[in-house]
A and B are shown apart, each in its own frame.
Chain A
Amino acid sequence: MSALAKMASSRLFWPVVMLLVLFAINLVAFPGFFEITVRDGQLFGSLIDILRNGAPTLIIAVGMTLVIATRGIDLSVGAVAAISGAVACSIILGSPDPGSLATVAVAVTVALLISLVLGVWNGFLVAVLGIQPIIATLILMTAGRGVAMLITEGQILTVNSPPFKFLGSGFWLGVPIAVIIAAVVFGLAALLTRRTALGMFIESVGINPEASRQAGVRARGLLFAVYTFCALCAAIAGLILTANTAAADANNTGLFIELDAILAVVIGGTSLAGGRYSLVGTLVGALVIQTLVTTVYTVGIPPIATMVFKAAVVTIVCLLQSPTTAEALSGFRRRLAVRSGKGVAAS
């Protein structure tokens, strides 16, 4: 009983319940939802699709979690994703041998390096110039897509390069490459921030920058690090998104993904006010968002009603998570416990 109560009070409880409810809806609409088969040596099934299509959102959301933990926000991730895709595709297109592994390696490296520069730029605006994060990153959000347009000259660049395509739709030991990359990014972030003091420093900067400075935490360096890491995550996601269709579309790659990523972080229980963060929560949040998209297709919700459906689900999750609701619910549980004669001890 106490284990159940403990679980119910966890910040992850409601997001996980929501995920299970969405799974159940899918299962009713489409009985084969949980079926995973091996086709051509690759795992094949709805759950695999959710993981693969959710990978870019998850990768960006991991970076976003750390930024939000410092009481910041990064709106420029979608634009950075578009730039990295555009850079990679134009390099591959411009090379004499688009199919070679070396070309793709160069393209990917250059795209990632450029994203580091963009991340340092965001970090500079926030940490050195002290501009509010939402404004600082808004600059790159608007300008960045223009840069991507300039790189692609307003065209959709289609590349015919098997190694590049592999990034988006390839498999390794039956598992989609995108999922493996997401797992690596997630694992690295968790390891770096939770197995060292880094995570605590980030949280302390988010809770009280002045106090943490006086305690000897160098906020400036930390801010640079989290914004650069976030931009790097965005670039990785952008490469996966671009490789998925083997085409760089400056207008649409990563469009509104910043909102999905922020939502994933918030659903996962990390507060936008900074401080405590939960990477596992972000993982659940990203899965909820992607499952939501799949649910729309499986259940056959008409496109006109899609937005309302998504809004309803997100509203429910946020309502259930709010401290006021939690208090009301726990009060209700207490009364129930009292009535059933178990007394206060059970709660």
Chain B
Amino acid sequence: MKKLIGIAAVSGAMLLALTGCASGGSAASEGPKPLDELVVGFAQVGAESGWRTANTKDIQASFEEAGIELKFSDAQQKQENQIKAIRSYIQQQVDVIAFSPVVETGWDAVLNEAKAAGIPVVLTDRAVDSQDDSLYVSFLGSDFVEEGEKAGQWVLDEYADASEPVQIIQLEGTTGAAPAIDRAEGFAEVISANPNLEVVASQTGDFTRAGGKQVTEALLKSNPDVDLIYAHNDDMGLGAIEAIEAAGLEPGVDIKIVTVDAVKDGMQALADGKINFIVECSPLLGAQLVDIVKQINDGETPEKRIITEETTFTQEEAIEALPTRQY
């Protein structure tokens, strides 16, 4: 009996908490707040790579510069941690919640809670897979297909005069991950314009250096005449460099390398002439996120899909950009 009373008390408290949220939500939509009263909750994936750390630092710096309070949490690559963080932001009645979803699915429940509380949600860097796109206001991130297209375009231009077949090895990202699927798709689409460009082998290196190295080692033996390697991220490209050097060849000369990301180690290899071209996948989206938050605060509706401003690097551009590179 005591237990029952306890449960009733807890659920009563939860109801109160819920109504509290709802009233907080309506308060938020009353009109623009001064910037220094805004509170934004950001739930980050983790700190799994140099790319991610740069992403975190840039977001923190951008909000500090704008004078907006940022509550930050690190989910250590676990969805349940991220859901907990988002729930706590809902309870704290922040004005905007932003997060990079660890995985694509399983967000409907918590995002519905945010919606019920009237707190707008912005996705950064990665998308969620949900039928209901009213659950978030905007998705700010890279267009992975376009990254693949940019890589393909460089290859197309580089081998525009090729009269003989050009053999290409593709190092794919983690099987099933959105960047891996889209970067392959964009690349294939563009290089199909020249029938001489042929992907002779395509295997996954799991976005890691060790994976890139091992796959390249094996593929170099079965395809000794390969001309170019297209890696879905810098790390696999760096692994490929090791494998090419071990085979007594010169990376960047005997076998050309094109990668995506432009993290520091990759840029260094590009500047050293071991990689030929890098398509940037920029983690620096803090400024654009601040803009979205300001728009929401002013009562405007931001674009549903905002693409990060990104560029590409040749070897010369890398030498120039390297000293001021943040990540």
Chain A residues close to B by CB (< 8 Å) = 29-30, 32-33, 39-40, 44-46, 49, 53, 146, 149, 153-156, 158, 169, 241, 244-247, 249, 251-253, 293-294, 296-298, 300, 302-304, 306
Contact = CB atoms under 8 A, between A and B. Distances in A.
Size category of the binding interface on chain B: 35 or more
B265 A241 contact: no
B265 A245 contact: no
Contacts of A241: 210
Contacts of A245: 209-210, 213, 238-239, 242
A300 B169 CA distance: 11
Contact of B219 (A154, A297, A303): A297
Contacts of A253: 210
8 contacts: A39-B248, A44-B247, A156-B235, A169-B242, A245-B213, A246-B242, A249-B210, A252-B210
Nearest to A241: B210
A279 B242 CA distance: 32
A46 B221 contact: yes
B208 A249 contact: yes
A312 B43 CA distance: 40
Interface string B210-222: 1101110111011
Interface in B71-129: 76-77
* Chain B CB within 10 Å, residue with most, of A30, A169, A293, A297: A297
B247 A297 contact: no
A29 B222 contact: yes
Contacts of B239: 245
B206 A298 contact: no
A293 B172 CA distance: 16
Interface stretch (B9-17, B22-30, B46-54): B46-54
Interface in B243-271: 246-248, 265
4 residue pairs, one from A and one from B, having the closest CB atoms: A154-B47, A297-B218, A245-B209, A303-B204
Given A30-B222, A154-B46, A155-B53, A252 B206 contact: yes
A49 B203 contact: no
B126 to A, nearest CB: 17
A318 B76 CA distance: 37
A137 to B, nearest CB: 21
B47 A298 contact: no
Nearest to B212: A245
Nearest to B215: A297
B134 interface: no
Given A44-B247, A241-B210, A252-B210, A153 B222 contact: no
B208 A252 contact: yes
Given A39-B248, A296-B203, A303-B203, A153 B47 contact: yes
Contacts of A298: 218, 221-222
B301 interface: no
A44 B247 CA distance: 7
A136 B189 CA distance: 51
B46 A249 contact: no
A45 B172 CA distance: 24
Nearest to B175: A303
A156 B327 CA distance: 12
Nearest to A253: B210
Contacts of B203: 296-297, 300, 303
A39 B247 contact: yes
B325 to A, nearest CB: 15
B322 interface: no
Contacts of A297: 201, 203, 215, 218-219, 222
B50 A30 contact: no
A156 B50 contact: yes
Nearest to B176: A304
Residue among A45, A169, A245, A249 with most chain B CB within 10 A: A245
Interface string B25-61: 0000000000000000000001111101100000000
Contacts of B176: 304
A46 B218 contact: yes
Nearest to A37: B248
A154 B52 CA distance: 9
B105 to A, nearest CB: 19
